[in-house]
């Protein structure tokens, strides 16, 4: 390979949804770009694999609404360019207590997002497969739903683990396949972010998540996204859980807990602990009785989250290396924002403004209160 073949305007390290979208935006703007990924295309060792993710406007913090609005527009552009349906607005139902439900509804109202609040028996009247009593309230985000993760991840991926980064006016990326260099570097390395950029003030931690699929035993039509069966987020006061109707596997719904165990991503993954599916099974038996939680899940998978202490993202220029840009710490909630994060990182490389967004909460140098209460 000639020197010219190893010189680029920009290199993106990490070809999950964030890196793929950043590389797509750079190439679209005429930037000679290399996308480097340590695993083969379609691997299951990160955070972007599988058939489905929840897409939504609703959030506990209003800082995410401008990103969400832009992301829906960017997904629509990608859908038109690829000729593929990338998401379905079957609704996203967020089940919780009255106070937090009304607060999330207030935020959606501020941004003119279509929504509805349901309470108690009205939840079951609207969605017959869900059994929640009068103590429960629900926010229906009508633009929310399911994104088809595999379809969204279109960029090429390569078997070249990054061994080292050499900083300077020109960044060198040392991989198992050779040394590449570029004027600009974007690092979207997910769970490996700390290993590649160990000096970041905001630290990230890799968490191993169990993803379970449970057989549908009744009311089959109620578990189909094409019938407007909503995705679910559930806050029961102790745990945060989620459900996606049968998208990944026919006749099976994805249901799990939004909580993992810290791991070293460089070491072989062990099976997720028993409590991950035990907590899910308990909730299913009480509230979603047409899923079979009488034994172990029908299908088990895993996912890695890259957590920050406050669960907020890192989208920033490196504090010590001005030609290095970071997208990370997406804390299990980032996939739906992929095209917008990619666009923001691309504009940083190009020296363009991102004034449409308040990126201060995502600074790599922010101070995080050790007692902060993180939220979805």
Query: Taking 50 as the threshold, does the pLDDT of residue 331 lie above it?
Result: yes
Tell me the average pLDDT across 300-318.
94
Is there a contact between 204 and 366 (Cβ–Cβ < 8 Å)?
A: no
Per-residue pLDDT, 15: 86
Per-residue pLDDT, 156: 31
Query: Taking 90 as the threshold, does the pLDDT of residue 159 lie above it?
Result: no
Query: Taking 90 as the threshold, does the pLDDT of residue 176 lie above it?
Result: no
Per-residue pLDDT, 173: 84
Query: Taking 50 as the threshold, does the pLDDT of residue 128 lie above it?
Result: yes
Per-residue pLDDT, 157: 35
Residue 2 confidence class, pLDDT cut points 50, 70, 90 = low
More confident residue, 65 or 376: 65
Say how many C-beta atoms besides its own lie within 10 A of residue 253's C-beta. 27
- With CA atoms as reference, report the closest residue to 127 among 114, 115, 140: 140
pLDDT, tens digit, 9 for 90 and up, residues 31-62: 999 888 765 555 455 444 567 899 999 999 99
Per-residue pLDDT, 49: 53
Q: Which long-range contacts (CB under 8 A, 24 or more apart) does 23-31 make?
A: 23/155, 23/342, 24/78, 24/154, 24/155, 24/339, 24/342, 25/339, 25/342, 25/343, 25/345, 25/346, 26/346, 26/349, 29/346, 29/350, 31/346, 31/349, 31/350
Whole-model pTM?
A: 0.91
Per-residue pLDDT, 155: 35
Q: Annotate 173-194 with b (16+ C-beta within 10 A) or e (fewer).
A: bbbeeeebbbbbbbbbbbbbbb
What percent of the chain lies above the pLDDT cut of 70? 90
Residue 349 confidence class, pLDDT cut points 50, 70, 90 = very high
What percent of the chain lies above the pLDDT cut of 90? 70
- CA-to-CA distance for 331 and 59, rounded, in angstroms? 14
pLDDT, tens digit, 9 for 90 and up, residues 282-298: 999 999 999 999 888 99
- With CA atoms as reference, report the closest residue to 294 among 306, 307, 310, 282: 282
> In the CATH scheme, what is the homologous superfamily, with its name and number, of domain 1-90+145-203+310-375?
FAD/NAD(P)-binding domain (3.50.50.60)
Per-residue pLDDT, 266: 84
């Amino acid at each position: 390979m000639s020197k010219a073949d190893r010189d680029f305007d920009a290199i993106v390290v990490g070809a999950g949804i964030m890196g793929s979208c950043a590389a797509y935006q750079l190439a679209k703007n005429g930037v000679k770009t290399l996308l480097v990924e340590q695993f083969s295309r379609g691997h299951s060792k990160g955070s972007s694999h599988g058939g489905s993710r929840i897409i939504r406007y609703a959030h506990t913090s209003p800082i995410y609404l401008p990103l969400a609005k832009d992301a829906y527009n960017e997904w629509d552009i990608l859908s038109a360019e690829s000729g593929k349906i990338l998401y379905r607005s079957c609704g996203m139902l967020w089940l919780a207590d009255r106070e937090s439900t009304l607060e999330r509804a207030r935020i959606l109202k501020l941004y003119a997002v279509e929504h509805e609040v349901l309470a108690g028996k009205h939840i079951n009247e609207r969605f017959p497969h869900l059994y929640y009593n009068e103590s429960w309230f629900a926010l229906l985000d009508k633009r929310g739903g399911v994104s088809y993760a595999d379809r969204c991840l279109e960029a090429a991926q390569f078997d070249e683990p990054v061994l080292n980064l050499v900083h300077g006016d020109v960044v060198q990326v040392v991989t198992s396949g050779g040394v590449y260099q570029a004027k600009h570097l974007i690092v979207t390395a997910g769970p490996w972010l700390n290993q590649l950029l160990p000096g970041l003030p905001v630290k990230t931690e890799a968490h191993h998540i169990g993803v379970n699929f449970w057989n549908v035993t009744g009311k089959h039509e109620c578990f189909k996204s094409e019938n407007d069966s909503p995705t679910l987020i559930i806050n029961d006061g102790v745990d945060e859980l989620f459900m996606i109707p049968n998208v990944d596997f026919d006749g099976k719904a994805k249901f799990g807990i939004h909580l993992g165990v810290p791991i070293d991503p460089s070491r072989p993954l062990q099976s997720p602990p028993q409590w991950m599916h035990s907590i899910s099974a308990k909730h299913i038996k009480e509230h979603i009785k047409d899923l079979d939680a009488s034994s172990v899940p029908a299908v088990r998978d895993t996912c890695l989250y890259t957590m920050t202490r406050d669960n907020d993202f890192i989208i920033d220029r490196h504090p010590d290396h001005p030609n290095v840009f970071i997208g990370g710490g997406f804390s299990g909630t980032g996939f739906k924002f992929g095209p917008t994060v990619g666009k923001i990182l691309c504009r940083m490389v190009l020296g363009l403004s991102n004034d449409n967004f308040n990126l201060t909460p995502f600074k790599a140098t922010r101070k995080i209160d050790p007692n902060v209460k993180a939220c979805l």
